[in-house]
């Protein structure tokens, strides 16, 4: 019999029987100081004219950390982001990835399954392109309707955001790629984002943005977390000891590493001692803080050497846990763009929101004689947001942004609404106008059987919008065309909530957000009924800007919005205690503002009913049961939403909050029993004295709402006992 050969691993850490923690410790023990410091900071790894070339081995992306060949540790390549694997400026020739719908559209699906499907796609494509770390996982709450990056976030509610980001992160990481939850925390506006000091009381923060991060981190177990550019209560997020060491690494026991945003590090020992592990995009900072200054701080005893080991250990432990070191990603893997497009389209089909549908205008009949499509780029493609998350597939329409403060172009993904409508409309004539000439649009609209206007609103990183209306005279265009033809349907491609003062003039409106590479096909599917719309608004559409907590805008000319730019003016405070934890619909409910369309709103081509509501409570374990029925004539997805409010008792009252949601697919006439567990922290208030969420004993109203402000759904009052949640 042949003797079994056992080859000894070349390095002790290669023994897979050891835990990730033990393996990481062995590597750290073997590392030299230079090897450790090579993993503590890096410049952006995209070639920039006038800068030193990117290092050998870097693929061309947000960051590259070199291999430690002596120890058999692979190099780590990092890439943006949540909407697809970014190829900045096309530096990686031939590398193409799927452009997913915006995160807001994902939010509109109210569907963790879609988050998992798109997350898995992201992870697979990142790995196939050689990336071990994706900077994907935007978990900020949409606090400002005008925010330039709202399309990168899931919505205004902490439970919806936490659950969907958590599901996406878990799915990315199941593919053996680290995901990065960002931008921790309160990075809610772009104007002056590197100078803005987000001010909020602890309790309000815990019940809102921090709750979104907490749930996302519990459910997704991300390998890394990225603090934002902004300050939080007087300290830059990247050197905020309370947030990083206190909340994240302390209370939440986060075991991964904390990397700064690119050019968002402002100190050496303050940042290192606050818990920042990596200075990313160090060439954008005033100093190379985590280079020589950090070495000096260690030599001089200002930063303990164990902190340096901890910074490296956290990275290695995570990379072992997710299999990156045993099985490093290598570029050149297969990418199935056709399959990716199908996944992107399916996600868009689940997230498009039918806002209005008077007299069953939609779905439009097939075989209409004459359809007119109007829209600036409705022949070419669907709009995408700008900035570090932008994915630009081959065939995209790329135009300069027209803003010198924005470094990205204005991109339309190659998914043509005109062509998609032609494909679904049947035999009739489909004409196109770009709508810049209003008179021509009105004249052409007059005889048409159906007019579809694709309205556009572009947003980008570094640039907030001046207001919430559609720009470039589109409101006027819609009003004029609608006056000429009552069968005018508006599809809004936007990076967030917009005001729709013209909505009463048209019979049907669809919110498409930025719908990604299969977006036009999804839109046409909803227009002609192949798809039954099932999205629900993840953000409230205000009636006008005056309803917002901060209707006034900072003048972008008086402050600096981007890193690596000359500082203008002083650090300024943004008062988030105006709305506190009542972000979005909660603010509207508290102030008794009537928005145009509230959070959770969305119509279907069928109808649903919720019956047999029962609510039970066993301590903080509160469950809602009932039966959802499709009472209409075609299949569709219901989105039961459970809102819980507490009526004025002991000053512990609060307006209804989303405490659970589900998405249930039902054939016509079909019923299904559902059981939803309410998130206990949503029923609680943060108690500063106990340092914990606290459910006040008393009566709570539990309601199934068609949207956040729906007061007519089935309701039950339940008594909860006082409890502290740990």
User: Where on the chain is the footprint of ligand BGC (CB under 6 A)?
Assistant: 62, 80-81, 135, 182, 261-262, 388
Q: How far is the CB of 381 from ligand BGC (least distance, A)?
A: 24
Give the sheet arrangement for strand 621-630, strand by strand: 608-618, 621-630, 671-677
With respect to ligand BGC, which residue has the nearer C-beta, 63 or 510?
Answer: 63
Q: Is the peptide bond before 185 cis (omega within 30 degrees of 0)?
A: yes
Tokens of 577: 């205690």
Distance between CA atoms of residues 176 and 44, nearest Å: 23
Q: How far is the CB of 247 from ligand BGC (least distance, A)?
A: 20
Please name which of 154, 164, 75, 67 lies closest in space to residue 111, comparing C-alpha atoms.
164
With respect to ligand BGC, which residue has the nearer C-beta, 62 or 455?
Answer: 62
Q: How far is the CB of 56 from ligand BGC (least distance, A)?
A: 21
With respect to ligand BGC, which residue has the nearer C-beta, 139 or 371?
Answer: 139
The 3-state DSSP composition of the chain as helix, strand, coil percent (nearest 5) reads: 30, 20, 50
Q: How far is the CB of 191 from ligand BGC (least distance, A)?
A: 14
Q: Cα 528 vs. chain centroid, distance in angstroms?
A: 29
With respect to ligand BGC, which residue has the nearer C-beta, 213 or 262?
Answer: 262
CA dist list (Å): 668 to 604, 631, 638, 664: 12, 7, 12, 12
With respect to ligand BGC, which residue has the nearer C-beta, 80 or 277?
Answer: 80
With respect to ligand BGC, which residue has the nearer C-beta, 179 or 396?
Answer: 179
Q: How far is the CB of 392 from ligand BGC (least distance, A)?
A: 15
Q: How far is the CB of 269 from ligand BGC (least distance, A)?
A: 24
* Cα four-point dihedral sign 648, 652, 655, 657: negative
Q: How far is the CB of 235 from ligand BGC (least distance, A)?
A: 18
Distance between CA atoms of residues 172 and 118, nearest Å: 9
Phi, psi at 373, each rounded to 5°: -105, 125
Tokens of 256: 């991964």
Q: Is 717 exposed, middle or buried (0-12, 13-18, 19+ CB in 10 A)?
A: exposed
With respect to ligand BGC, which residue has the nearer C-beta, 81 or 382?
Answer: 81
Q: How far is the CB of 63 from ligand BGC (least distance, A)?
A: 7
Please name which of 74, 75, 73 lies closest in space to residue 26, comparing C-alpha atoms.
73
For the stretch 288-294, contacts whose Cβ atoms lie closer than 8 Å and that sit 24 or more positions apart, written own/partner, are 288/41, 289/41, 289/265, 290/37, 290/40, 290/41, 290/265, 291/37, 291/40, 291/41, 293/268, 294/37, 294/40, 294/268, 294/269
Number of alpha helices (DSSP H) and beta strands (DSSP E) in the chain? 16, 31
Q: How far is the CB of 661 from ligand BGC (least distance, A)?
A: 27
For residue 323, give the DSSP letter: T
Q: Cα 184 vs. chain centroid, distance in angstroms?
A: 13
With respect to ligand BGC, which residue has the nearer C-beta, 187 or 629?
Answer: 187
Q: How far is the CB of 278 from ligand BGC (least distance, A)?
A: 12
Distance between CA atoms of residues 208 and 500, nearest Å: 27
Q: How far is the CB of 135 from ligand BGC (least distance, A)?
A: 4
With respect to ligand BGC, which residue has the nearer C-beta, 315 or 415?
Answer: 315
Q: How far is the CB of 579 from ligand BGC (least distance, A)?
A: 24
For residues 415 and 512, the answer to whether their CB atoms sit within 8 Å is: no
Phi, psi at 64, each rounded to 5°: -140, 130
Distance between CA atoms of residues 350 and 327, nearest Å: 34
Nearest 5°: the CA angle 120, 238, 164 is 25
With respect to ligand BGC, which residue has the nearer C-beta, 137 or 507?
Answer: 137
For residues 692 and 681, the answer to whether their CB atoms sit within 8 Å is: no
With respect to ligand BGC, which residue has the nearer C-beta, 127 or 182?
Answer: 182
With respect to ligand BGC, which residue has the nearer C-beta, 357 or 388?
Answer: 388
């Amino acid at each position: 019999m042949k003797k079994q050969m056992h080859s000894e691993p070349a390095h002790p850490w290669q023994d897979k029987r050891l835990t990730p923690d033990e393996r990481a410790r062995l590597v750290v023990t073997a590392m030299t100081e230079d090897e450790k410091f090579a993993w503590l900071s890096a410049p952006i790894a995209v070639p920039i004219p006038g800068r030193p070339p990117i290092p050998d081995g870097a693929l061309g992306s947000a960051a590259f950390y070199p291999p430690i060949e002596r120890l058999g540790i692979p190099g780590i390549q990092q890439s943006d982001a949540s909407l697809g694997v970014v190829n900045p400026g096309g530096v990686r020739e031939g590398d193409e990835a799927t452009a997913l719908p915006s995160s807001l559209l994902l939010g509109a699906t109210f569907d963790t399954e879609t988050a998992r499907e798109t997350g898995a796609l992201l992870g697979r494509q990142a790995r196939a392109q050689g990336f071990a770390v994706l900077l994907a996982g935007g978990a900020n709450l949409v606090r400002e309707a005008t925010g330039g990056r709202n399309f990168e976030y899931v919505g205004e509610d902490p439970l919806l955001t936490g659950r969907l980001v958590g599901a996406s992160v878990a799915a990315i990481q199941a593919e053996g790629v680290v995901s990065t939850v960002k931008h921790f925390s309160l990075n809610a506006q772009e104007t002056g984002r590197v100078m803005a000091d987000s001010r909020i009381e602890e309790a309000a923060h815990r019940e809102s943005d921090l709750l979104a991060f907490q749930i996302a981190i519990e459910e997704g177990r991300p390998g890394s977390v990225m603090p934002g550019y902004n300050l939080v209560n007087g300290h830059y997020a990247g050197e905020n000891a309370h947030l990083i060491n206190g909340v994240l690494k302390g209370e939440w026991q986060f075991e991964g590493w904390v990397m700064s945003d690119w050019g968002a590090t402002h100190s050496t020992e303050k940042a290192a001692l606050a818990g920042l592990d990596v200075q990313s995009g160090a060439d954008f900072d005033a100093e190379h803080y985590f280079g020589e200054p950090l070495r000096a701080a260690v030599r001089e005893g200002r930063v303990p050497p164990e902190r340096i080991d901890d910074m490296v250990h956290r990275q290695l432990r995570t990379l072992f846990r997710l299999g990156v070191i045993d099985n490093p990603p290598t570029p050149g893997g297969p990418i199935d763009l056709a399959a990716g497009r199908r996944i992107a389209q399916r996600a868009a089909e689940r997230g498009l929101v039918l806002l209005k549908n008077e007299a069953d205008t939609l779905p439009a009949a097939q075989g209409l004689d004459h359809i007119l499509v109007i829209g600036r780029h409705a022949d070419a493609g669907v709009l995408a947001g700008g900035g570090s998350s932008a994915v630009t597939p081959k065939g995209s329409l790329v135009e300069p942004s027209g803003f010198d403060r924005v470094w990205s172009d204005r991109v339309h993904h190659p998914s043509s609404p005109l062509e998609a409508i032609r494909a679904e409309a049947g035999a009739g004539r489909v004409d196109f106008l770009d709508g810049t000439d209003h008179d021509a649009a009105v004249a052409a609209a007059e005889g048409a059987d159906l007019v579809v206007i694709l309205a556009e609103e572009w947003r980008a990183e570094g640039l907030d919008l001046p207001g919430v209306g559609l720009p470039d005279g589109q409101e006027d265009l819609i009003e004029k065309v609608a006056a000429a033809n009552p069968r005018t349907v508006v599809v809004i491609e936007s990076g967030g909530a917009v005001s729709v003062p013209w909505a009463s003039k048209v019979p049907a409106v669809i919110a498409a957000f930025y719908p990604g590479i299969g977006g036009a096909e999804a839109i046409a599917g909803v227009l002609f009924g192949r798809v039954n719309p099932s999205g629900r608004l993840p953000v409230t559409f205000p009636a006008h800007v005056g309803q917002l907590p901060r209707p006034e805008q900072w003048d972008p000319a008086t402050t600096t919005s981007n890193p690596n730019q000359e500082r203008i003016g002083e650090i300024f405070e943004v008062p988030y205690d105006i709305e506190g934890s009542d972000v979005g619909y909660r603010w509207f409910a508290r102030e008794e503002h009537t928005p145009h369309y509230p959070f959770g709103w969305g119509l279907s081509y069928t109808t649903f009913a919720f019956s047999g509501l029962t609510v039970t409570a066993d301590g903080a374990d509160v469950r809602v049961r009932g039966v959802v029925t499709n009472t209409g004539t075609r299949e569709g997805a219901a989105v039961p939403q459970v809102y819980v409010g507490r009526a004025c008792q002991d000053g512990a009252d609060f307006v209804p909050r989303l405490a659970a949601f589900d998405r249930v697919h039902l054939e016509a006439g079909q019923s299904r029993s559902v059981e939803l567990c309410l998130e206990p922290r949503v029923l609680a208030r943060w108690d500063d004295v106990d340092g914990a969420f606290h459910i006040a004993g008393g009566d709570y109203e539990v309601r199934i709402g068609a949207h956040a402000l729906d007061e007519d759904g089935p309701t039950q009052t339940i008594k909860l006992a006082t409890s502290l949640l740990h």
